[in-house]
Amino acid sequence: MNKVKVPDIIVSRLPVYLRALQYMAANGNTTTSSQELGEKVGISAAQIRKDLSQFGEFGKQGTGYHISFLIERLLQILKVETIWDVVLVGMGEIGHAILRYQGFGNRGFRIVACYDSDPAKIGSQVASFTIGDVKNIIKDIKDGSYKMAMLCVPASVAQEVTDKLVEAGIKGILNYAPVSLAVPPDVRVQYIDPVIGLQRMAYYLTEK
């Protein structure tokens, strides 16, 4: 599978389908249709069928999709059927909130290490982690054992830490710092910046 390059815009929708299907499954549903799924996620039934058809045949005309089967296939396609180890860098407010967040575990990710540059934080205990020194990231993880990181450092040092993560073999960075990062072509960055989302909506608002 995935021999043909699938457009990134389609890839970006798969986690949204997966989340909705897992939610349906948790609520006891066993089958669904592209119509019903579309209503849940705000995407047309035709678009969903077209997106999924990139990866094979998942549903039957008339009977729709078996939710558990479709979940299983999407987990495989997204490579999250087993758990990815994720490194967390920056133990300020956001870093702590992420560490307490309950929503990672059953969706393909777990935090395995925490780092900061503040001497007052390094060595201290947060949940089950001892906060490591960001200086040692390359040494600690350059055996290539970790591929993903969450970056919650201030914007002013985000690029510097990113360079270290890239040197350490990290290939995917979820960036909470409100700044764009420069990375090599084989490294991906996804941005979590609430203001970007708010500004994008403000554009469409007509009055205060």
The residues of the shown chain that bind a second copy, judged by CB under 8 A, are 11-12, 14-16, 18-20, 23, 39-42, 77-80, 82, 84-86, 93-94, 96-98, 100-101, 103-104, 107-109, 147-148, 150, 155, 171-174, 178-183, 188-205, 207-208
Distance CA 136, CA 104 (A): 25
We find the least distance from the C-beta atom of residue 37 to a second copy, in angstroms, to be 10
Provide the CA 77 distance to its chain's centre, in angstroms.
14
Total residues found in the chain within this entry: 208
H helix and E strand count, the chain:
8, 11
- By beta-carbon proximity to a second copy, the closer residue of 60 and 208 is 208
96 by DSSP, 3-state: which?
A: helix
DSSP letters along 2-56, please? --SPPPHHHHHHHHHHHHHHHHHHHTT--EE-HHHHHHHHT--HHHHHHHHHTT-
- By beta-carbon proximity to a second copy, the closer residue of 133 and 189 is 189
- By beta-carbon proximity to a second copy, the closer residue of 119 and 184 is 184
- By beta-carbon proximity to a second copy, the closer residue of 15 and 64 is 15
- By beta-carbon proximity to a second copy, the closer residue of 123 and 154 is 154
Strand partners, 126: 129
We find the least distance from the C-beta atom of residue 140 to a second copy, in angstroms, to be 17
We find the least distance from the C-beta atom of residue 33 to a second copy, in angstroms, to be 16
We find the least distance from the C-beta atom of residue 62 to a second copy, in angstroms, to be 25
We find the least distance from the C-beta atom of residue 95 to a second copy, in angstroms, to be 10
Distance CA 166, CA 173 (A): 9
